[in-house]
Structure 1
Amino acid sequence: MDVVVRELDGPSELTAAARLYRSVFGYTQPEYGVSPRLLAALRENSGSVIGALDPAGTMIGFCFGFSAVDRGELYHYSQAAVVDAAAQGLGIGRRLKQAQAQTARGTGARTMRWTFDPYALRNAHFNLNVLGATGIRFLPDYYGGGTDRVLVSWDLWHARKPGVPAGTLESPATDRAAQRSGLERHFATGARWTGVTHDADRVTCTFENDES
């Protein structure tokens, strides 16, 4: 499929992006949507508003984010990235993240951050193993009850350097309670989550510490 990934422009494209966002997540409540006007403001103020369009011009992927600062470090925060169900598995998610990274570099950011559901193992594999991002913080009930998230940081200029092994977490793939307890325990020591493998029955998470 000849997909074009680029910055979005104009009310119709921003509205289509907002519509895709709600469709992919299955949101019906207005408060869970994203405003096209907000996207326009982000685009004009060091944010990222990027879409993937098929040959017919239909929006099949979308991501957006904004500049942020943590203890003096400028980074780009990726709020969301979505791909239409019919277009998943075609590498569009990776292309969106790469385009977003390019936009972030233009703002002076050296890293990009986002959160993901640590029990969605396909997402964990993509973030940690494919992109090479690093899990830096466990955020229990981030959006309310039952919405645990892991915050990752992705170096936009260099590949992730190997750290000092800091143990592994092994648990049944369907046992969220065991995974949650293990993630809390490892992150509490200051370790970083760098890899994951899983099959139908087991999940193994790999942790590292920074080189001293």
Structure 2
Amino acid sequence: MSAPVLSAPAIRELHELEELESVCALFCEIWGTPANNPPINVEQMRALSHAGNYVAGAYADGRLVGATVAFFGAPIARTMHSHITGALPGHAAGLALKLHQRDWALDRGLHRITWTYDPLIARNAHFNLAKLGGVIDAYLPNFYGTVDDAINAGTDTDRAMVGWDLAEPRVVAAARRESIPVVVPPGAVAALTDRDGRPALGRTDAEDLLVGVPADIEKLRHTDPAAARDWRLALREVLAGLLADGARVTGFHGRSRYVLTRGPAA
């Protein structure tokens, strides 16, 4: 039996206190935080929305299933930074929110959206790079410091900064919901691999490289915190080191590994 086709959630901007309170409750549910310590509070969202920034929600059958908050960044009048996006599974709300966010930014003459994500989470890397066509601009070690939520507790908050150039062919293709090919050069060398659940360092001196991540780091943090910590340090050493050395990420292949090159940009 084929899987049911899900209708796209309805996306709308949010301004009213009751709407923002619902976003706050949804984010607490997703991040596993108490109501008195949400990832972003109602007052902050109210101020951002009132000042003309972007706060939007995704609704399925009248129920809030996703939300996102973004604000204008530098360079002024060209860039927006998407601070937080959360969505319940099973509604394709994350993609719908990002595409709505892109349209909103283009309508205001913006050219670029940035955001951060944990580069150890394979599904997020696939979504940001392979599905949306974003690129990694930088590796940011322990960017948010200590965070007390169910997802990040007990781990350094390393983040990859994603750049989403709204008129780039890859991003335009993503907006049309077209697949974005990820090419693995035939001579690519494994710089970091998964060996029985643990990170194994390889060569980092090749022109084309593959940097692996665990299949489910979030589960590993609960079942084997020491292994999860090893993965954090290994990815920081390898991926951050390669980016600092001039390599660039060209994609995320097979939902399991970053593809990098030191060659010229296409």
* Range of TM-score over shorter length: 0.7 to 0.9
Distance 1:192 1:105 in 2: 26
Is residue 2:114 matched to residue 1:58? no
Give the unaligned 5+ runs of structure 2: 1-5, 147-155, 172-181, 186-206, 218-230
Task: Answer with 90-99 or 36-45: which moved more.
Answer: 36-45
Residues 153-168 of structure 1 aligned to structure 2 (within 5 Å): 153-160=163-170, 167-168=208-209
Is residue 2:32 matched to residue 1:26? yes
Question: CA separation of 1:197/1:176 partners in 2, compared to 1, >3 Å: closer, same or farther?
Answer: farther
RMSD: 2.7
Question: CA separation of 1:210/1:49 partners in 2, compared to 1, >3 Å: closer, same or farther?
Answer: farther
Note the C-alpha offset of 1:35. 2.5
Note the C-alpha offset of 1:157. 1.9
Question: CA separation of 1:108/1:176 partners in 2, compared to 1, >3 Å: closer, same or farther?
Answer: same
- Flag the structure with higher strand content: 1
Q: Verify the 8 A CA contact 1:134 1:154 in the aligned structure 2.
A: yes
Aligned position for 1:204: 257
- Give the number of equivalent residue pairs: 203
SS at structure 1 position matched to 2:123: helix
Task: Answer with 40-49 or 139-148: which moved more.
Answer: 40-49
> Which is greater in Rg?
2
Distance 2:245 2:170 in 1: 20
Could you state the TM-score of these two structures normalised by the residue count of structure 1?
0.84
SS at structure 1 position matched to 2:249: strand
Pick from 180, 197, 210 the counterpart of residue 169 of structure 1. 210
Q: Quick one: which amino acid aligns to residue 19 of structure 2?
A: E
Aligned position for 1:180: 236
**What is the aligned-residue identity percentage?**
30
Task: Answer with 115-124 or 105-114: which moved more.
Answer: 105-114
Distance 2:85 2:137 in 1: 20
Question: CA separation of 1:42/1:107 partners in 2, compared to 1, >3 Å: closer, same or farther?
Answer: farther
Note the C-alpha offset of 1:188. 0.3
Question: CA separation of 1:170/1:191 partners in 2, compared to 1, >3 Å: closer, same or farther?
Answer: closer
Note the C-alpha offset of 1:210. 5.7
Could you state the TM-score of these two structures normalised by the residue count of structure 2?
0.68
Aligned position for 1:76: 80
Is residue 2:166 matched to residue 1:152? no
Q: Verify the 8 A CA contact 1:49 1:63 in the aligned structure 2.
A: yes
Note the C-alpha offset of 1:170. 3.3
Note the C-alpha offset of 1:150. 0.3
Q: Verify the 8 A CA contact 1:171 1:178 in the aligned structure 2.
A: no
Distance 1:142 1:78 in 2: 15
Aligned position for 1:4: 10
Residues 33-182 of structure 1 aligned to structure 2 (within 5 Å): 33-55=39-61, 57-70=62-75, 74-84=78-88, 88-144=89-145, 146-160=156-170, 167-171=208-212, 173=214, 175-182=231-238
